[in-house]
Every structure is written in structure tokens, then in C-alpha cells.
A and B are shown apart, each in its own frame.
Chain A
């Protein structure tokens, strides 16, 4: 059974600081997604990572995938308050199959 673990689960950081969220998974996969969820809202797709070494950046967020280490990272650069949300990574075992989500990282960016 595929397991996906995120850490930290809770992250409180100051504006302007950098930090990284980690996503480890237990079985072979080269398809990983990052989603953002605001309180009471649905999931917003941030990144799709489809191969080993994939790196994608959007604004202050950058995601990478190391399939050999079964690890993805979401790096936050110079955080701003608007980034406060819960971030989920999700792994797809094979194309078109179910997504297995991590527990989520609740990020709070303080002024």
C-alpha cells in the first residue's frame, strides 16, 4: 500500500523567510502533484511533476522530484502572508490511477 508522508505538518514562519516542505512516498512512482487548499475551499493544483529531476517554479514556490529517493520538496522563497494555506502532495502510482495524498502541511506566514 502506497504511503505518503509530509513534514512538517504545521509550519509557522515570518514574512521574508525561506522554508522547505518535504514529501516522502513509499513505492515507485514518477508522478507527483502539489495542491493548495484554503480553509473551507477546494484543492487548487500548483505543480505536476512527471519525471525524475523535474523542477517547476511559480512565483515564490518551487517544487522538485527525486524519484530515486522517493522525495519531493516544495520550497518557499521570501514568504508572504498570501501563501498561508494547507499544502498537500499527492502521488499517482500509475497514469490515470488514484491519488494518494499526504496529511498536508498547514502553513501560516506571520507579518
Chain B
């Protein structure tokens, strides 16, 4: 049973560029959430997708956008990258309506130079 898978594992981009990160949820899960974890800090909620729609959003600018596909996989897009966007981006999946913890992927380490 595959867990949450994210790609790529590492990425280096230049300021001003755009990036797309991908996530496949754990089998049977229908909800995907994205978190940003800066070095030495706890993860910060970016947004959550359910039924292909953004259901909740954290305090992140519009440069951060996402999408969920019919197979429940998801993408996180970040435009006009800033140095401060360098972080570990974590995708987590869950099954709506169940009292279960989020299952996190291994993350994508984004470095903006």
C-alpha cells in the first residue's frame, strides 16, 4: 500500500521563476493538504483540497496556488519565487469524515537562489 508520494525530492530555482510540486495521496484518501516548513520551524498550513476544490487556505499570498485532479492527486504552484520560499514542502493526505491523522509525504526540498 503506497503512502503519500511527492515529486521531485529536491529542487533548485532562481528568484522570479515558477515551480510546480506534485503529490499523490495515500491509497483510499481523498483530501490533500499542503504545508510549508522553513528550517527550524513547525509546518505552516498553505491550503487543502477536497473534491477538486480549495476548501481552506492559510495565510499565504496568491503566488501560491494549487489544483486537485479527479484521481485525488494534487499540485502546488508557486509563482515569482522569493528567497524566503526556500523550505520543505509537505503534502499530507486524509480521508474526509474520519478521525485519523494526516499521512505526510517525504516532502520536496525547494531552494531558491
Q: Count of A residues near B, CB < 8 Å?
A: 23
Could you say which of B42, B48, B58, B105 contacts A88, with CB atoms under 8 Å apart?
Answer: B42
Instruction: In the complex, identify which listed stretch (B11-19, B70-78, B95-103) lies at the interface while the others stay far away.
Output: B95-103
Interchain CB contact under 8 A, A99 and B94: no
Instruction: In the complex, identify which listed stretch (A11-19, A64-72, A74-82, A100-108) lies at the interface while the others stay far away.
Output: A100-108
- In the complex, the chain B residue whose C-beta lies closest to that of A95 is B99
Number of A-B contacts (CB under 8 A): 53
User: Which secondary structure characterizes the binding site on chain B?
Assistant: loop
| Contact status of A96 and B104, CB under 8 A, knowing A102-B42, A103-B41 | no
Known: A43-B43, A98-B45. 20 other contacts (CB 8 A): A33-B101, A33-B102, A42-B104, A42-B107, A43-B90, A44-B104, A45-B101, A45-B103, A48-B100, A90-B43, A96-B31, A97-B56, A98-B48, A98-B56, A99-B35, A101-B42, A101-B43, A103-B42, A104-B41, A104-B42
